[in-house]
Amino acid sequence: MSRYKTIVKMTIAVILLFSAIPLKAAADGPGVSAHGAVLMEQESGRVLFGRDEHSPMRIASITKIMTAIIAVESGKLEQRVKISNSAAGTEGSSLYLKPGETVLLKDLVYGLMLRSGNDSAVAIAEYVGGSLDGFVYMMNEKAREIGMKDTLFQNPHGLDDHEDHYSSAFDMALLTRYAMENDRFKEISATEVYRSPQEGEKWDRVWRNKNKMLKYYKYSTGGKTGYTKRAKRTLVSTAEKNGMELIAVTLNDPNDWDDHERMFEWGFHQFDLVPIVKKGPVSGVQKAYKNKVEANRTFYYPLKESEKQDISSTINVYRYPKDGKWKNGEAPKPIGRLFIELAGVEIGNLPLYYEGEALIKEDIGVWKSLRQMFSQFFFVKAEDSTDG
């Protein structure tokens, strides 16, 4: 009997040991097989999970996200592009464009994103950039503008024709976050099937999106696939659930479809997109400012349940004039700023305005942990004041 009890105790101990492992994994992040990975929240840009996310690596065809957004922003989508011999002859994944035919730039962008056409990438680059080199210059300028610090583009398609064409998971998430702010890009990225009329033919080209996440993951909203022999499998995907939008990037990942679903599910389970400051009058100001100092937008931030108690804020405003009259007849714009911190680290700030348009009244009753600290400051000279 004692031996039986010992076996039972050992069995229970083993069960408890292994049942604890997923809990630890959930706390640390989702398990992924990628060499580089990141999960970013769209609204704030907060990194929810990362693995070597700043390490430069080959990126293959997710390069085309940059090519696409530059084309979309060019304002030339309804113009026709004449396909050159060099574009038509580009190796690898192809739309089978023919030299001399003309195609709407819009259609080339759809073909670029859905079918990953390398010929389309070169045609876009030549048309929008004036030349391949001119377009690559535009790509790198845009990368600097967005804040991509570990990125260098050498072509518009991601083929391994240069040793120094690379990016990082974090940078590609930054790029995707930027691109997804554009409604036209967002629409293209989410398209599953697209038909493009073919010049001189009775039948259309039909392109189906290679991004399987759109079909197999119900919250998927878009993305871009990539593969070369040297880069291996790369994938960018986006998803939205309950108003929170996430961006997942994996580089050199043999199990990318499953990893992206796992990352999304982990992110949606672990974090809530919280309206920390709501559009409208803010609390925590002196009596003279009550119901008159307003935030012009709602500030959202993804938080774990355990982090909500660590939110604090500071309000800095101009001192209210003793006689109630502002110099030059009106209050400074903005009247001040509201700084938001998570565990002592600033995560955002908002300009505050005095007696602006009718705004939604803030209800911070549920935010008992939101500590409002009011401080005033003087300006000796009018020219010392600055816009926020």
| Last-in-domain residue among 220, 242, 270 | 270
| Last-in-domain residue among 230, 246, 270 | 270
**Domain span including residue 125:** 31-270
* Residue 26 domain-assigned (yes or no): no
* Residue 19 domain-assigned (yes or no): no
Residue 160: exposure state from Cβ atoms within 10 A (0-12, 13-18, ≥19): middle
Kindly indicate the confidence band of residue 373, based on its pLDDT and cuts at 50, 70 and 90. very low
Task: Looking at the structure, tell me whether residues 178 and 309 fall in a common domain.
Answer: no
* Residue 67 domain-assigned (yes or no): yes
Q: For tokens 């592009």, name the residue.
A: 81
CA separation for the pair 79, 102 (Å, rounded): 10
Domain at 310, CATH number: 2.30.140.30
Residue 192 has pLDDT above 70, yes or no: yes
* pLDDT digit string, tens, across residues 326-370: 887 788 889 999 999 999 999 999 999 987 533 433 333 333 333
Residue 387 has pLDDT above 70, yes or no: no
**Cβ count near 60 (within 10 Å):** 28
- 207 neighbors 44 (Cβ within 8 angstroms): no
From the list 382, 315, 383, 381, the residue with the least C-alpha distance to 354 is: 315
* pLDDT digit string, tens, across residues 224-259: 999 999 999 999 999 999 999 999 999 999 999 999
Bridging pattern class, strands 272-277 and 311-318: unpaired
* pLDDT digit string, tens, across residues 17-65: 333 333 333 346 898 999 999 999 999 999 999 999 999 999 999 999 9
Bridging pattern class, strands 299-303 and 272-277: antiparallel
- 246 neighbors 42 (Cβ within 8 angstroms): yes
Q: State the pLDDT at residue 356.
A: 59
* Residue 165 domain-assigned (yes or no): yes
**Cβ count near 267 (within 10 Å):** 23
* pLDDT digit string, tens, across residues 107-135: 999 999 999 999 999 999 999 999 999 99
* pLDDT digit string, tens, across residues 155-172: 999 999 999 999 999 999
Number of domains in the chain: 2
Kindly give the interhelix angle for 64-73 and 132-146, rounded to the nearest 10 degrees.
90
Would you name the residues annotated as active-site residues? 61, 64, 116
CA separation for the pair 157, 119 (Å, rounded): 9
CA separation for the pair 27, 29 (Å, rounded): 6
Q: For tokens 């697209």, name the residue.
A: 194
CA separation for the pair 327, 197 (Å, rounded): 64
Task: Looking at the structure, tell me whether residues 91 and 193 fall in a common domain.
Answer: yes
CA separation for the pair 292, 275 (Å, rounded): 20
| Last-in-domain residue among 240, 270, 300 | 270
Domain at 120, CATH number: 3.40.710.10
* pTM of the predicted model as reported, rounded to 2 decimal places: 0.83
The distance in angstroms from the start CA to the end CA of the chain is 77
